[in-house]
Structure 1
Amino acid sequence: MCLFFYANFAWGQATIVFVPEVQGTTLNGLFRAAIYNPTGIKSVRMNIVVSETRAGRIATIQTVPFQIGPGSNVIPSGVARSASIAIAQNTTANFIRRNQYFPQGDYEYAFNIISASSSEEVIVDQTFNHEVTPPAPLDLIEPYDQDEICEKRPLLTWQPSLPAVDGQLYQLLLVEIKDKQNAVEALNYNLPVVNQKGIPANLLVYPPNAKELVAGKKYAWQVSAYKDQTIINRSDVWSFEVNCPDTMANAPDSDLGYRDIEDLAKGNFYVANGILRFSLINSNQEQQLRYSIICISNKALLPRRLKKIQLTKGVNKIKLDFTGNAAFKDGEHYVMRVTLPDGTTRSIRFTYKAIQ
């Protein structure tokens, strides 16, 4: 959770609005602090001192004079570029000098804004404290790297970015990989098929206004976590290929229409045209199949009254007819979790298509 820290001040004084979790991880981020000025135009200078508990003083920043008006003020980009930045000589400061971001540690950020005409006139004197912790890797989930999928409008999922930052959003970029390109090159140079910003959760249902993916082509994708204009975390670049001629939607109603559950569990979204068919092997005694289904694209849809399936010993071909069940809507995405007779679980992802 982001905390906005305010020093004790009298009513009517100027204040600094600063989010250490987002803006306190790089030197450039410090210049994204805002200055709230309740009164008229002032000509000011700003000093920032950054310290770390074990290393001591890390950096001292001094700006040239600039003006702030009534209300919220951003620090002008020209002022940030011309600021004097003195970085100390210690291990932590040397790391920041090389890598341009703050390593793990307990930091103090002291903002001091004074009148441009008199250093005795202090307009703002505020201190913020924050523990910088390295973010957990932002891992993609599905489509898996170098996977082959069937769905031309897949659901794209990834792990949430941790630690969570209040107001954090995601951006997903998906591009086609051309001949003789690797995934990273494609992402850097090719026009996006999907460039979706403002994603609040760690999944994206394929945008309806984006062109569907093309069978036989390869694609690269990456997810970034950000707040305002600041990138907080970024995933690796993964690739996948659309290549699955034998989907459940095209399978005839015969033994060939029952896909092995192990095969289904490795795939992306299959198309269930009113009916989902799969097979599994039961090496134990006869028992009832344990399974559940959730709709991941519309949480208001709650599949209930699911058919009871009795497993016999050996190969079981299972047919689940969803027609007539109001919880299954055309075009919605579902996950069925099946507990196999040996106690292991498998997840089957499918898109439901209503029979016309």
Structure 2
Amino acid sequence: MRANRLVSLVLLLRQRGRLSAATLARELEVSTRTVLRDVEALSAAGVPVYAERGRHGGFALLPDFRTDLTGLNHDEALALLVAGSQRGAQVFGLGSALASAMLKVVDALPESYRDTAAGVAERLLVDPGTDLLSRRLVTEEVPDTVVTEVRRAVLAGHRLRIHYAAVDQAPKWRTVDPVGLVTVRDQGYLLATRSGEDRTYRLSRVLAAEELDEPAQRPDRVDLDRAWRERSTRFRTGGDQVAVLVRVDPARREDLVSTALSVRAEEADPDGWLRLDVTFQDSRHAEWALWQLATSAEALTPQWLRDSLRDRAAAIATRYGASST
């Protein structure tokens, strides 16, 4: 770990010039004291890093210094393979490896391309942390120790023990045969089999994980995209799903459809609104989805959903009907 950090420190100085100890500490996710120790170690190893004093001082390398530091380790190469989505790298616990790998890739570019690449990178931003309404995009937190064990078992083809907290159940240990990892909208999932049956586990609900020595019982090859589609289809067509007949303003149709599991039928009403027969995962999902649409939609059936939405609206009206104190 320290060797990779020393390499990253040198590459940061090569690509960005003079940097303060505080900046290096932030980039490397360590303390300033660790940065100072690392600089001393580099100097002792013959790397020409020197300190510049003063208000705008910091650490820098002698001009034209170059050494062969661009070899990628296993996790860095893997991070580049999932770098199509930087958030995917974060979900799979490869965020720091991705940052380190990108430093090495930039350093490996011919000098004539390096400055251009840095300038281009400054003008491209993928998946920022907030949207235009300043709403923070929340990524589920999964401990590094958990995601690392899960990832190792998946890639090595070993069986895996997980301490899993299913919805409305007490956590318990399970031994599974991992198939692959999937990230959807910043949520990570483990696709696995258990006693020969397909299982899908949400990574944020894995409390602990342990890679076992025994090989996983799984095919040598897998079409992960197809496997995910098949499991998604089974999820949408099973369980305690709720069918709802809804009238919706055409301007909000996509908002409704994007939250529903499926649209079973659709037709236009004489007043221009649309009438859709949609399904939701369960009663809570149905109530939540219709509540988001406010007066732009009306649930026609089932009656219990109409009653629930009416009662919620009445409670809100009562709360705001009273004078504030």
TM-score w.r.t. structure 1 length? 0.23
Structure with greater helix percent: 2
Bigger RCO (CA 8 Å, 6+ sep): 1
Look at both structures and tell me which one has the larger radius of gyration over its CA atoms: 1
